[in-house]
Structure 1
Amino acid sequence: MKKLKIVQQIVNEGVVAVLRGKSAEDVVAMAEQAIAGDIKVIEVTMTVPFALQAIETLAKKYSASAAPDSDRYAIIGVGTALDPETARAAILAGAEFVVGPSLNPATVALCNRYRVPIMPGVMTVKEIQEALELGVDICKLFPGNLYSPSTISAIKGPLPQANLMPTGGVNLANLGDWIRAGAVAVGIGSDLTNEAVKTGDYELIRRRSAEYIDAYRKAKGLS
């Protein structure tokens, strides 16, 4: 039941912050600002030095057990998980979902074994079908900047059961188009953090996060 609950929460929240940085401390600071801006799903990529340390720190602070029934609650996951070994290490560090840049059947099997949501990257209808057959609940359409929102409605013609989350190239200008086209969620990376990293003002991430959440809610007709 926990896996289904987390999948539903990711869909309900609709926006995933994909965080990369120079250190675990950088990413923790970014995540804190994103959460303060109301993005409640945080993906820490394994390209970050000591990424597992960042995941553990955030999970201890923001997980349901750490902050039950609190506005501080957030879902902390791992990204750029290339293999099952990486996924398992991240799960043990506190990751509640796993994201990969590609479809790795062994990683999917590992996550299914431990009932942890897995969102592998896909580029073709064939990969999406394979992911569905492996039991994947949400497929990451990646890199999203190679596609347009109309791609989702085209894919859903033959595969209406596929849940797609574009990542890469999603920004404030096109987020609404992706959601209205049928994306169950979107992944936001550099557009969320680039300005803050350049200026050293991480509060910009909080303000940017609030803008993304507002855009998502408007696209869903929630505000």
Structure 2
Amino acid sequence: MSPTQSSAVAVRTGPSQILLNTRIIAVMRAPHATSYAPVVEALVEGGVLSVELTLSTPGVFEELPRLRERFGETVEFGVGTITTPAEAVRAIEAGAKYLVTPLTDADIVAVGVDRGVAVYPGGLTPTELFAGWSAGATAVKVFPASVVGPGYVSMLRGPFPDIEVVPSGGIGISDAAAWIRAGALAVSLGGPLLGDAFHGGDRKQLTERAVRLRGIVDEAQAAK
């Protein structure tokens, strides 16, 4: 990823080419991180290639290097639910290509900025979101996005014309197009995409949902 110049900060790390190509982040929560690999395979078959491993799942730091070895450069793995700078550092050391937080913390953003790693801090209010953006975020995560709706992106762009947004929380597959058309950099989905994949669900159906989501997002992006 190449750092890009920003008016708000000296250097901002841009989104990966994988994310720019696909515009989707799959958010993974499982009983244990050792369950991730088969689900990632199903997502890859469906064209979803950016995967956020959340720290609410045990074993993420230990499993991440194994996943990177298995999937190579095909999949971009990030670590989410980061709430401290120490977790951010450990995630990068384990091989995370990006960091995701549920909150706005300039110290966490600084870890990513200083190491040239993409970072997506969470917030909801304009004050929180602009604080994350000003600190050097790659994009800000609007969370929970279902509370505000896609129109919030254009409202934010009024006072903050350059801000990049990734909505997360309560977004269904059919909702994704509206967010992309509104100007979101990407959409972040967990349960509506993954369904019961970690609890004995049919992974073929997961791949079918991923294919459907990619089609919806690609069409919306092409129409912008």
Question: CA–CA distance in 2 between the matches of 1:9 and 1:160?
Answer: 24
**Which stretch of the first structure deviates more once superposed, 191-200 or 140-149?**
191-200
**Which stretch of the first structure deviates more once superposed, 28-37 or 111-120?**
28-37
Letter in structure 2 aligned against 1:38: G
Offset of residue 215 of structure 1: 0.7
Question: CA–CA distance in 2 between the matches of 1:199 and 1:76?
Answer: 23
Matches of residues 97-116 of structure 1 in structure 2 within 5 Å? 97-116=98-117
Matches of residues 67-216 of structure 1 in structure 2 within 5 Å? 73-216=74-217
Offset of residue 77 of structure 1: 0.7
For 2:22, the equivalent position in structure 1 comes to 13
Check 1:121–1:212 CA distance in 2 against 1; reply closer, same or farther (3 A cut): same
Question: CA–CA distance in 2 between the matches of 1:132 and 1:163?
Answer: 8
Check 1:11–1:56 CA distance in 2 against 1; reply closer, same or farther (3 A cut): same
**When the two structures are aligned, how many residues end up with a matched partner?**
214
2:27 corresponds to 1:26: no
Structure 1 gap segments, 5+ residues each = 65-72
**Which stretch of the first structure deviates more once superposed, 131-140 or 200-209?**
200-209
Question: CA–CA distance in 2 between the matches of 1:27 and 1:142?
Answer: 24
| Structure-1-length-normalised TM-score | 0.90
2:92 corresponds to 1:61: no
For 1:217, the equivalent position in structure 2 comes to 218
Letter in structure 1 aligned against 2:156: I
For 2:8, the equivalent position in structure 1 comes to none
Cα-to-partner distance string for 1:142-182 (whole Å, 9 max, x where unaligned) = 01111111111111111110000001111122111111111
Could you say what the CA RMSD is over the residues aligned between the two structures, in angstroms?
A: 1.7
Letter in structure 1 aligned against 2:129: I
Contact 2:34 2:59 in 1 (8 A): no
Letter in structure 2 aligned against 1:82: T
For 1:67, the equivalent position in structure 2 comes to none
SS at match of 2:159: coil
Percent of matched pairs sharing the same residue: 28
Question: CA–CA distance in 2 between the matches of 1:102 and 1:140?
Answer: 9
Offset of residue 202 of structure 1: 2.5
Question: CA–CA distance in 1 between the matches of 2:34 and 2:207?
Answer: 17
Question: CA–CA distance in 2 between the matches of 1:61 and 1:2?
Answer: 25
Offset of residue 8 of structure 1: 4.4
| Structure-2-length-normalised TM-score | 0.89
Question: CA–CA distance in 2 between the matches of 1:217 and 1:22?
Answer: 31
Question: CA–CA distance in 2 between the matches of 1:106 and 1:55?
Answer: 23
SS at match of 1:136: coil
Question: CA–CA distance in 1 between the matches of 2:121 and 2:185?
Answer: 14
Contact 1:19 1:42 in 2 (8 A): yes
SS at match of 1:187: strand
Offset of residue 132 of structure 1: 2.1
Contact 2:105 2:132 in 1 (8 A): no
2:50 corresponds to 1:41: yes
Letter in structure 2 aligned against 1:43: E
Check 1:101–1:130 CA distance in 2 against 1; reply closer, same or farther (3 A cut): same
Question: CA–CA distance in 1 between the matches of 2:187 and 2:106?
Answer: 23
Structure 2 gap segments, 5+ residues each = 4-12
